[in-house]
Amino acid sequence: MTRRSVAARIIPILIALVVIGFQYCSSDKVRNPLTGQTTRVGLSRKQEDQLGLQAFQQVTSNEKTITTGSQWEQVKRVAGRLANVTGSEAEGFEWMVSLVDNPQENAFCLPGGKIVVFTGILSATQTDAGLAAVMGHEMAHATLRHGAQRVLKENMTNTLLVGASVSFSDMDYQQQRTIMGLIGAGARYGVVLPFGREHESEADEMGVIYMAKAGYDPREAIEFWKRMSKNTGGQPPEFMSTHPSHGSRIEQLKEIMPRALEVFEKARAAQAKNETLEQN
């Protein structure tokens, strides 16, 4: 390899790193309420709200939604109680909820507070508290702005991959494919998947705090994941997934449960006090 060819390989990587630095430094900062630390996001709140509303409208127009009956009343009731306790993290959110007639065990919350619950998940949630565990988790993804964080991380990763692709463009196809495959795998298993698992753990923690503030017993989150573990059976190795294993999730929930129970007891005491004042 000549001195010139070394420079030709290094320059595209250096340019990519400069672009990554610009992407990072020019991005918005947000404060993580769980850690107190700041993090960076790849979308503004306005962009998130627009994308969230657009996706919500698309889902609800393409799927059969339920707007009457006991299941709908439960979903609406739990969503309302949770939305009332999300605090400053959800400032400016316009909460909306839809119940979709679909057997998948799924629920999600889009940026800006647009919640979608599939009827299939209700057999696993079973109770209001079980549903609060799911919805609190999904709402936490939105309030913590995890989607916007992922956008920035993916943009930076893609920039690096483009730089690497240019750097090795003179190689034959098979060599280039092998090197790019290794770099892509390193980015996926070293950055993208752990980043996803970190977000899931944060949403679990914030979610049980939300459900506790709303007066739902946070211990039901553990019971819900025990039921899900039985329903889903085997899972891929954790390092190959964006989500923690059910077992890891349950252990993490047990660790944060003392704090969640303290919040729950305060919420119950406040509710009892309010009921006494109303009676008097």
Provide the annotated active-site residues.
138
Q: Which of 265, 270, 198, 255 shows the shortest CA–CA distance to 222?
A: 255
**CA gap 133, 78 in Å, rounded:** 10
Run of H or E including 150:
helix 146-167
- Count Cα atoms within 13 angstroms, Cβ side, for 245: 12
Structure tokens at 229: 């573990």
**CA gap 253, 257 in Å, rounded:** 6
**CA gap 272, 110 in Å, rounded:** 34
**CA gap 214, 60 in Å, rounded:** 27
**CA gap 166, 183 in Å, rounded:** 13
Rg over alpha carbons for the chain, rounded to the nearest Å, is 22
The total number of residues shown for the chain amounts to: 280
